[in-house]
Chain A
């Protein structure tokens, strides 16, 4: 898929673990792993909103479009 999820980059920048993020955002660890590994087919606005809120970033910081992928 040409949409890349840069969740791991943002998590490293904010020095937050997957467990902690899972608890703060309120989504399961397995769903967060699916998102982190770019295996998700879609993301809800509510999830994106929660992630941006916890990681203090913009949706563009988490999602990237790559033509070649």
Chain B
């Protein structure tokens, strides 16, 4: 099985990332259009659902989902995600070309790691905003239900971010070994 170069796993992942990038970009653009042109969401029935483990809460045609804090935080998450996809696309494009241990790849990996850590933080803020919205909607149902919006950074995303940063340093070391090997006459 070929991992790097043309017709390899890297080449396949590159195509998947490219498609994901385009879909995310279209989604974000559509989101911006709906936000700035309210006439659009008046015509199209909209639903926003918040998923929790074992639970999905949906809001239909509600103006609340277009409130600035909720919408802006989701939008910022989308931009960070788009940046990560762009950086991964750049990285796998180089892998497809057969360039693995190079300075641009180290820089791209470092930026990707940092972006993933930022995404973990931004996502926790987005979840908090959504939590506030759910609490606001549901707290009137019963006095016996105690609802609180809590801030929690996803440890898995944070772990992946730091893992990418460590791999970037390993790539840097490998690049130095490669350079030394190439410059040994």
User: Which A residues form the contact surface with B (CB < 8 A)?
Assistant: 27, 31-32, 34-35, 39-44, 47
Contact partners of A31 in chain B: CB under 8 A: 185
- Closest-by-CB residue of A relative to B176 is A41
Tell me the B156-185 residues at the A interface (CB within 8 Å).
Answer: 179-180, 183-185
Q: Name the 4 nearest CB pairs between A and B, nearest first.
A: A41-B183, A42-B184, A41-B180, A35-B185
Tally inter-chain residue pairs, CB-CB below 8 A.
Answer: 23
- Closest-by-CB residue of B relative to A32 is B185
Q: Nearest Cβ distance between residue B79 and chain A, in whole angstroms?
A: 42
Number of chain B residues whose Cβ lies closer than 8 Å to a Cβ of chain A: 5
With a 10 A CB-CB cut-off, give which of B179, B180, B185 has the most chain A CB atoms: B185
Contact partners of A44 in chain B: CB under 8 A: 184-185
Q: Nearest Cβ distance between residue B101 and chain A, in whole angstroms?
A: 15
With a 10 A CB-CB cut-off, give which of A27, A42, A47 has the most chain B CB atoms: A42
Q: Nearest Cβ distance between residue B176 and chain A, in whole angstroms?
A: 10
Contact partners of B185 in chain A: CB under 8 A: 27, 31-32, 34-35, 40, 42-44, 47
Tell me what chain B mostly uses at the interface: helix, strand, loop, or mixed: mixed
- Binary interface encoding of chain B residues 84-118 relative to chain A, with 1 for a CB under 8 A from any of its CBs, else 0: 00000000000000000000000000000000000
Q: Nearest Cβ distance between residue A25 and chain B, in whole angstroms?
A: 10
Contact partners of B184 in chain A: CB under 8 A: 40-44
| CA of A35 to CA of B185, assembled, Å | 7
- Closest-by-CB residue of B relative to A30 is B185
Contact of B179 among A27, A32, A41 (CB under 8 A): A41
Q: Nearest Cβ distance between residue A53 and chain B, in whole angstroms?
A: 15
| CA of A59 to CA of B152, assembled, Å | 65
| CA of A16 to CA of B183, assembled, Å | 23
Q: Nearest Cβ distance between residue B174 and chain A, in whole angstroms?
A: 15
The 23 sampled A-B contact pairs (Cβ below 8 Å) are A27-B185, A31-B185, A32-B185, A34-B183, A34-B185, A35-B185, A39-B183, A40-B183, A40-B184, A40-B185, A41-B179, A41-B180, A41-B183, A41-B184, A42-B180, A42-B183, A42-B184, A42-B185, A43-B184, A43-B185, A44-B184, A44-B185, A47-B185
New A-B pairs, 15, CB < 8 Å, besides A34-B185, A42-B184, A44-B185: A27-B185, A31-B185, A32-B185, A34-B183, A35-B185, A39-B183, A40-B183, A40-B184, A40-B185, A41-B180, A42-B180, A42-B183, A42-B185, A43-B184, A44-B184
